[in-house]
Chains A and B, each alone.
Chain A
């Protein structure tokens, strides 16, 4: 495959993983991410890889744990309810310091919810994707091309810091088709450390490696958590990604990610045509969060508007990032409903009230 191709987001996530050396995939079908697993099932046997449909999401994440422990790049994908099921395994992977990639192509919740797009798993992804003191490296692509770039980034960060990484997408991104260029996306690959910790057979030549998340003595467990915390600090220092769009002169700054940010971009163009000074900060990493970029924008902007496909989750992180120095409004649709650019424009006009 060379030059541009037209791909569904789900297919692009799968192909990008393969191009980044991940040929071990374990999953369980769920709409709207199933094309990812289907693509893996078709492609992986042709490249000497393994695509296994497990008996459940829980089994799939534990297979990822086993594969990752052996030192290979491993991946699973699901959609919201399936990610909840994986949470225990994710926590065990964090406790075992194992890198992997988990894709959540979100659908509406809670419960079985629905199959339409949503961003209702922000809290889950960034605050509590499992028990214990843990973070995942969480990235939120906003286009099919960016999905490809971020799969590579997520694997590299996962391997560098020995942590699970998550692509937080949604049904709309997973299902929509856009042109993709893999060659450009693969250009920025980084060197990652050798996996000297992997349990891949010592052949009598080195001490045996053990992968485990159980610590008999509390002081050892604390030491392990503290050591991981140091790595989290490095991730927060080195791996934050965001995009700024017309922020410099903006009176109103929209903060939005993923598919919502695409809708907001159209709304911003419409608002700018009306003379409203509005811009956007689009967090690309949701953890670590681009706090500094928001804090800086709060020096010049007078209002913030957070747009998400949920009832207001990231809005809390925006308030913390700007230390509540500016009013932060929220606009969201939920349950699988997408706002239109006109809906967002109406919110912008409301905030601009009186000044127009």
Chain B
């Protein structure tokens, strides 16, 4: 489980593209729904043409999560427009002060989409969770990952408030691969002074094993929501 009590009503998931933001966002949304929170997930991805939050809409809606999806997501056109359907989430928050919104942001400079919502987000308060994986080629070192974060912060005008380590090599991830990423986690937290909110993984048996060995980390199991083609 994610430590939900530490999070504000607006939760932004950002990071390098392919670091697993959508998996984290969907996983977090499902965790929150199970904990009884009223919430919506907002697909702010203007970068990815496919493999996005929109793929998980049926599962999210079944869990009671509202989905705010841009009009052209998963269509045959590549129009990075974010229409009024996105802003509707703030109207919901005005009506319901306990309503949580999770923003799944596009990779790297896709975070520019956030800038438009910056005044609302600053007014209402936000938690911005920076996701990184040491098994992704352009964020293999903590220094490169942090450089990417600084680019995201410059694009969005917002600042990360916590770090999530989502280091994995897909279905081939072993418990050792995750353990090997803990130094990376420490280094990123040291360089940014951010707390580590979670080390995410898909395999529940690894979580137990890792937790007994490294009790200082919050190993959080999330389901793999990536659309399967075959």
A interface residues (Cβ-Cβ under 8 A, vs B):
1, 4-8, 11, 15, 31-32, 35, 39, 42-43, 108, 113-116, 171-172, 175-179, 259, 262-263, 265-266, 335-336, 338, 341
Q: Which of A6, A7, A42 contacts B168 (CB 8 A)?
A: A6
- Asked whether any CB of chain A lies closer than 8 Å to the CB of B6, the reply is no
B51 close to chain A: CB less than 8 A: yes
Q: Please pick, from A1, A39, A108, A175, the residue contacting B76 in the complex, using a CB distance under 8 A.
A: A108
- In angstroms, Cα B75 to Cα A321, docked, is 37
B interface residue numbers (CB < 8 A to A): 17-18, 48-51, 75-78, 133, 135-138, 140, 168-172, 226, 229-230
- Least CB distance, B48 to chain A, in whole angstroms: 7
Q: What CA separation (Å) do A1 and B169 show in the bound complex?
A: 14
Q: Quick one: given A4-B172, A6-B133, A7-B137, are A31 and B230 in contact (CB under 8 Å)?
A: no
Q: Which 6 pairs across A and B sit closest by C-beta, in order of nearness? A: A114-B76, A31-B78, A263-B230, A179-B169, A262-B230, A266-B230
Known: A177-B170, A336-B76. A32 touches B50 (CB 8 A): yes
Alpha-carbon separation in the docked complex, A178 to B172 (Å):
9
Nearest chain A CB to B58 CB, angstrom units: 16
In the assembled complex, the Cα of A31 lies from the Cα of B106 at a distance in Å of 15
User: Could you tell me if A116 and B137 are in contact, using CB atoms closer than 8 angstroms?
Assistant: no
Q: Are B51 and A176 in contact (CB under 8 A)?
A: yes
Q: Kindly list chain B residues whose C-beta atoms are within 8 Å of the C-beta of A336.
A: 76
Decide if A175 touches B77 in the complex (CB within 8 Å): no
B50–A6 touching, CB < 8 Å: no
Pairs A–B under 8 Å by Cβ, sample size 29: A5-B169, A6-B135, A6-B136, A6-B168, A6-B170, A7-B137, A8-B17, A11-B137, A39-B138, A43-B138, A113-B76, A115-B49, A115-B77, A115-B78, A116-B49, A171-B49, A171-B50, A172-B229, A175-B48, A175-B49, A175-B50, A177-B51, A177-B170, A178-B170, A179-B171, A259-B230, A263-B229, A335-B76, A336-B76
The number of A-B residue pairs with CB atoms under 8 Å apart is 76
Q: Which residues of A contact B75 (CB under 8 A)?
A: 114
* Bound complex: CA A20 to CA B20 (Å): 28
Shortest CB–CB separation between residue B47 and chain A, in angstroms?
A: 9
In the bound assembly, the distance between CA atoms of A8 and B51 in angstroms comes to: 11
Nearest CB in chain B to that of A338: its residue = B229
Q: Specify the chain B residue showing the minimal Cβ separation from A117.
A: B50
A31 (CB) vs chain B CBs: closest residue: B78
Other A-B contacts than A8-B17, A177-B51, 5 sampled, CB-CB below 8 A, are A4-B172, A43-B138, A115-B77, A115-B78, A263-B229
CB of A246, distance to nearest CB on chain B (Å): 16
- List, in ascending order, chain A residues with CB within 8 A of B169's CB: 4-6, 179
In whole angstroms, how far apart are the Cα atoms of A335 and B75 in the complex? 11
A32–B77 Cα distance when bound, in Å, is: 11
**Complexed CA–CA distance, A116 and B73 (Å):** 11
Q: Which residues of A contact B135 (CB under 8 A)?
A: 4-6
Contacts of A42 in B (CB 8 A): 138
- Judge whether A265 and B230 touch: CB under 8 Å: yes
Contact call A5/B137, Cβ cutoff below 8 A: yes
> Which chain B residues border A108 with CB–CB below 8 Å?
76
- Whether B78 and A175, one on each chain, are in contact in the complex, defined by CB atoms closer than 8 angstroms, is no
Identity of the chain A residue whose Cβ is nearest the Cβ of B180 in the assembled complex: A3
State in angstroms the CA–CA spacing of A11 and B171 once bound together. Answer: 19
B195 to chain A, nearest CB (A): 25
Contacts of B171 in A (CB 8 A): 179
Nearest CB on B from A115, distance (A): 5
Given A5-B135, A31-B78, A175-B50, the answer on whether A259 and B17 have CB atoms closer than 8 Å is: no
| CB neighbours of B226 from chain A (8 A) | 177
